[in-house]
């Protein structure tokens, strides 16, 4: 199985400041079709998960442009340009390139 490793696991941030979450996979996430199926999800407290980013850097509809994804191969990053109060929650990366689909452990973003 592809192991997804996120860091940090806890991220205290100041409102208005940037935040960055790293996700590394144990194998390349480049699919034989040329796509890289790396997703980012947000789970706010008490809510269901919500996908923010797919295929490394494509934002889902309605996702604020302060969220961005980047990376390639085995190293990926989710960045929040200026953290807002509503961004508090746990962020997960998930690979959909190889079976079984696997998630990172999650990174808890909280306000300092």
Partner 1 sequence: EVQLVESGGGLVQPGGSLRLSCAASGFTVSSNYMSWFRQAPGKGLEWVSVIYSGGSSHYADSVKGRFTISRDNTKNTLYLQMNSLRTEDTAVYYCARDLVGWGQGTLVTVSS
Instruction: Give least dist CB 91 to partner 1, A.
Output: 11
Q: What is the largest CA-CA distance in the chain?
A: 43
DSSP characters over 43-107:
E-TTS--EEEEETTTEEPTT--TTEEEEEETTEEEEEESS--GGG-EEEEEEE-SSSSPEE---E
Calpha distance 84→101 (Å, rounded)? 30
**Which residue's CB is nearer to partner 1, number 59 or number 66?**
59
Q: Which residues of this protein are in contact with partner 1, per CB under 8 A?
A: 1, 39, 41, 43, 48-51, 54, 60, 90, 92, 94, 96, 99-106
**Which residue's CB is nearer to partner 1, number 30 or number 60?**
60
Instruction: Give least dist CB 86 to partner 1, A.
Output: 18
Peptide linkage before 96 cis (omega within 30 of 0)? no
Instruction: Give least dist CB 104 to partner 1, A.
Output: 8
**Which residue's CB is nearer to partner 1, number 16 or number 65?**
65
Instruction: Give least dist CB 89 to partner 1, A.
Output: 12
């Amino acid at each position: 199985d592809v192991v997804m490793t996120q860091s940090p696991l806890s991220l205290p941030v100041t409102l208005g400041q940037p935040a960055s979450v790293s996700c590394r996979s144990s194998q390349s996430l480049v699919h034989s079709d040329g796509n890289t199926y790396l997703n980012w999800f947000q789970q706010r407290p008490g809510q269901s998960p919500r996908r923010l980013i797919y295929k490394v850097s494509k934002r889902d509809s309605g996702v604020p442009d302060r969220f961005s994804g980047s990376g390639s191969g085995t190293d990926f990053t989710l960045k929040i340009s200026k953290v807002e109060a509503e961004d508090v929650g746990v962020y997960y990366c998930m690979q959909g390139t190889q079976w079984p689909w696997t998630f990172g452990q999650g990174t808890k973003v909280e306000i300092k």
